[in-house]
Amino acid sequence: MPGFRADTERMAAELGIDPAEVRAQLVGRRPDGRPLMRPDDTTAAELNHFGYDTDVPDVPDGPRGASADPDGLRCPLAAHIRKVNPRDQETDKGPPAATLTFAILRRGIPYDRGLLFLCFQTDITQQFELLAQRWASNPERPRQGLDNGVDLIIGRVRPGGERRARLLAGGVSTMADYVRPRGGAYLFTPSLSALRTLAGAAASSPAAGSDTCSRPGSAPDSPGAPARPPRTPRPPSPR
């Protein structure tokens, strides 16, 4: 990421800590994936076994438990992984139970000299766009009312503006954008043509319109009702 290494060395000198520590706090994880939320001896099976608001228990013969960090004393509230995945924390969008409805299924693919960021979701506005704009780029979100700065990995501010974040030892700031988007696309999976083909096949199948055939998805008391895809739970509307 352009400017990231030099900037984090400057920030480290200002805070009197190691540059690797600044980078880990900006991301929320160390380069090998260990989260700051867990102790140093964390194993591969434990990399995602933690909560921000609530302690997670030991799993018998599985991952060891971890204590919570609601106020960002171990992992800063502005860390990338906290901004884009607040897990079990209340956010400006609602109570903890709603938070995971904004999560995405993510794949990063090395591409040329950069990264192809790819993610899957059911609602691009309430997931990708919400994470990138409403949470990563707002200093007071996802936890409302606390100015902890923006996500310095992907958060954007007005052009030419300074980007700030609060780390464990104090505040840092930069004029640089480490991530420079080169393009993007919103795509359907399956593709629209595949969905049309499936819809056409369903419409022309012998069962279509029959009132004697029970198909998956049709209610038992409404024989012949068109099969509907399972309903996706919708996140609460913005406050």
Residues within the interface to ligand HEM (CB under 6 A): 27, 29, 33, 80-81, 84-85, 104, 106, 115, 117, 128, 131-132, 153-154, 179
Kindly state the smallest distance separating residue 154's Cβ from ligand HEM, in Å: 5
Place of tokens 């059911």: 122
Give whichever of 27 and 78 is closer to ligand HEM, judged by the CB atom.
27
Kindly state the smallest distance separating residue 17's Cβ from ligand HEM, in Å: 19
Kindly state the smallest distance separating residue 150's Cβ from ligand HEM, in Å: 13
Give whichever of 15 and 35 is closer to ligand HEM, judged by the CB atom.
35
Give whichever of 177 and 225 is closer to ligand HEM, judged by the CB atom.
177
**Nearest to ligand HEM by Cβ — which residue?**
85
Kindly state the smallest distance separating residue 236's Cβ from ligand HEM, in Å: 19
- Supply φ then ψ for residue 12, to 5 degrees: -65, -40
Q: How far is residue 126 CA from its own chain's centroid?
A: 11
- Give the residues across from 108 on adjacent strands: 117
